[in-house]
Chain A
């Protein structure tokens, strides 16, 4: 499995994905300038923009790397040669997943450091109203990473049943969009405002709420931007949710992938 992780990382680097991200990350340099235009809360705005940019890059990575990893191997017929080696299908899948997740983490660390430098620079020119709590900013990025690792797991699960890249890529995007609103929808249907919704709709929505990933808990942007404290037991619950959900997704993926015909 570690050999597969190594091969996966090598593949991503050789495909110049990392270089591409670094070029995109040059947009960081523009952020202080852009933020200054707003005249007020310049540092808060730069923090918002950098965190959003990191989030966006990670979304792209998890959709495209996660959604095409297995598909590429099957499409380019690498599976025949690799799965003929004494590797288990489960090990292979987990290695592929692990490599992609590790790359995402690496990107987040590098971008996080760059973002820190940019925001620190802005803060030195335009001192913010509240001091920046760097620990919370780091925590925010870390939970974003967890969120996208979960999304990669979703992409892998869809890839194990799909024969094209279309379904994994768009399925992952759809899951991402839906996962961002499930909490709101859930709260809405359990509020008096949804009185005239049919009970079937309510049950369906509740079912989806439990089935689809819930991304809102991973979102610590507001806390990071305004330096608000983060409740520890909430974080603990989110981590537990992440572990269980990803564990389930990967178990299903591994079970499906090991039964899949390579023809």
Chain B
């Protein structure tokens, strides 16, 4: 079963003086159980708008969506998920501990479990020392951590996170990546938006790129990375063999000991055969690939 099922989702905002913004122009997207999905897109692409529609905060102009089979907007559709809004804000007169208890109660957690889970998540997100202070005095990153903690307290099956890494220090980001990888191991599904391709490459199974309200790409990270292979960097020893035989290949770099050739994917077998025939010693082969970042930039660039 799909945990998220979006069909033809459109959203038009009507601003002041009847100006209209088409924030979403027909999004179709299905997220399977156990999948870690990265929702990439430049600023203003419609990531948060999609997520707000899913959470029933705004109503789509057209199209439908369901979360675990429940129509969006219903209380039932929010009953089994952990949601982190973009730049979250929580009742700032409460302490982190009180807020987590409040969230747990809305998910109808039994008292003993709630106490145990509140302690666990506070420790996991390094909020333990601050847990008895009102959130009014928290730093941006600490509030973000509370946001993550409140998605995890009831151990939901699906996480919907709008920029989970935003505002976190490198240690915090690494922690979030570890948390997501751990969730994956436990068969949970995660749908998160970001503009940082590196995060996606490290943790996601699949990625969707949204540009100006349209889903421009949708593929597994593995596929993208594989398709991204442009060729190989082959390092050879300068002192051995006849390098003139390899004149057909571009030389990328040379120094006193090595010559490095750039070999396109199609020419690899020929190169290796020639090198063998002319006793050229190959010391290193490295794959040259476009990373997700350039893939992302290419797609965004195409949209312009």
Interface residues of A (CB under 8 A from B): 3, 7, 10-11, 14-15, 76-88, 259, 261-263
Question: Does B106 contact A85, Cβ atoms closer than 8 Å?
Answer: yes
Cross-chain contact A11 with B93 (CB below 8 angstroms):
yes
Give the complex CA separation of A124 and B79 in angstroms: 61
The answer to whether A84 and B55 have CB atoms under 8 Å apart is yes
Selected from A3, A78, A88, A262, the residue in CB contact (under 8 A) with B57 is A262
For A7, A11, A79, A88, the residue with the greatest tally of chain B CB atoms inside 10 Å of its CB is A7
Q: Is B231 an interface residue (CB 8 A)?
A: no
Cross-chain pairs A/B with CB under 8 angstroms, 23 sampled: A3-B102, A3-B105, A7-B91, A7-B94, A10-B94, A11-B93, A14-B93, A14-B134, A76-B89, A77-B88, A77-B89, A80-B85, A80-B89, A81-B85, A81-B90, A82-B91, A83-B56, A84-B85, A85-B103, A85-B107, A86-B75, A88-B75, A261-B57
Q: Is B184 part of the contact surface with A, judged by Cβ < 8 Å?
A: no
Given contacts A84-B78, A88-B75, contact A78 B89 (CB under 8 A): yes
- Answer whether A86 and B79 are a contact pair too, CB < 8 Å, given A3-B106, A11-B91, A81-B89: yes
Residues of B within 8 A of A77 (CB): 85, 87-89
Q: How many residues of chain B get a CB closer than 8 Å to chain A's CBs?
A: 31
Task: Evaluate whether A83 and B102 lie within 8 angstroms (CB atoms) in the complex, with A76-B89, A262-B52, A263-B13 already known.
Answer: no
Question: How many angstroms between the C-alpha atoms of A80 and B49 in the bound complex?
Answer: 12
Q: Is the CB of B58 within 8 A of A262?
A: yes
A84 and B89 contacting across the interface, CB-CB below 8 Å = no
- Residues in B neighbouring A78, C-beta threshold 8 A: 89-91
0 or 1 for each of B278-304: is its CB under 8 Å from A? (1 = yes): 000000000000000000000000000
User: Which 6 residue pairs of A and B lie closest in terms of their CB atoms, listed nearest first?
Assistant: A80-B85, A262-B57, A14-B93, A84-B83, A86-B79, A77-B89
B59 contacts the other chain (Cβ, under 8 Å)? yes
Residue B147 CB within 8 A of the other chain: yes
Contact residues in B for A83 (Cβ distance below 8 Å): 55-57
Find the A residue at minimum CB distance from B101: A3
User: Which residue on chain A has the smallest CB distance to residue B78?
Assistant: A86
Residue picked from A81, A82, A83, A261, most chain B C-beta under 10 Å: A81
Q: How far is the CA of A86 from the CA of B73 in the complex (A)?
A: 10
Within 8 Å CB of A14, what residues of B? 93, 134
Contact between B58 and A261, CB atoms less than 8 A apart: yes
Please give the distance in Å from A126's CB to the nearest CB on chain B: 45
Q: Beyond the given A80-B85, A81-B89, could you list 15 further A-B residue pairs with CB under 8 A, ordered by the A residue number?
A: A14-B93, A76-B92, A77-B85, A77-B87, A77-B88, A80-B86, A81-B85, A81-B90, A83-B56, A85-B106, A86-B75, A86-B76, A86-B107, A87-B75, A263-B52
